[in-house]
Amino acid sequence: MAELHPESTTDDVLGDTDLSGRRVVVTGASSGLGEETARAMASRGATVVMAARSADKNAAAVERIRAGAPDADVHPRELDLADLASVRRFADGVSSDLDAVDVLVNNAGVMVCPFGHTADGFEMQFGTNHLGHFLLTSLLADAVLAGNEPRVVTLSSAAHLISDVDLDDPNFVSGDYDAWISYGRSKSANALFALELARRLGDQGLRSYSVHPGMVATELARHMTEDLMAQMISRISERAEQAAASGEDAPTGSDMPAMRTPAVGAATQVWAAVAPELADHTGAYLLDCHVGAGADVAPYVQDADRAAALWSLSEDMVGQSFG
């Protein structure tokens, strides 16, 4: 494998890797990072289940992938992470079709959307980004544990630095809604979930990672207004100023980041899915094809007690005991 760096692409990560026989599930696969992840892995021989909310968009993504890789073994399936009944139907279908899942990529999500609720009454960003994937991973856990050197890769973000999870008011029942705070909480939840998953199932051979993909031009930003963009720039500047004042290195992304292509943005999650050198780093937060550390990772997403508390809360919220 070539030496990797922040501008490496999925093809740089995989090179001539043969993924024949690997069974992969990717959520949010109809565009952006999910589609690129599915393309890169299917083009190396993996069987990929492409999960997406829109059947039409997913079918179009399958066509694009097969245009470049005619033999790609890709299977589109409908999944709405904002509806736990849909998550259960999807998991039942995957479990029926595959005897095992080697890699689960929890890629899908929503970002800075207006205040709203999922079909089950959860705040939309926390409910979709975290709880939907929490339930999905729980329902597929037996299939994943039956996999060959199984891995679960969960998309987080540098936005986790905005806010820790709120275990007392995850649905903004008593607090005023802030789109960026909500997004930050959901991304912290993703990192904490990956950490606790590694602790609970690591002794059964499972490896778990959370990933920051960088800023990528995808449909994820469809709710981004000029005001929300200005708020993001202000938060980035504030982080850089705080780091400078304390004499610490600024976290990655404390300068206004350049927009990445999906091929670059998806590189780290593909690396997490395949790299043998990550076997001893389960539970880690990854970015730019390396293990995050220092200012790039908030202390609260490395807090084992916090991770365990979120896990218990999530079980209660989705009505599913896990691990």
Indicate which residues carry an active-site annotation: 183
Neighbours of 299 (CB within 10 A): 8
In the chain, the amino acid numbered 26 is V
**Residue 25 CB contacts under 8 Å (≥ 6 apart), including other chains:** 48, 49, 51, 94, 101, 103, 104, 105, 140
Token pair listed for 230:
């200005």
Q: Are 141 and 199 in contact (CB under 8 A)?
A: no
3-state DSSP assignment of residue 50: strand
Q: How far is CA 168 from the centre of its chain?
A: 24
Rg (CA), the chain: 18
How far, in Å, CA of 265 to CA of 258, rounded? 11
Token pair listed for 164:
């820790």
Pairing state of beta strands 207-212 and 285-287? parallel
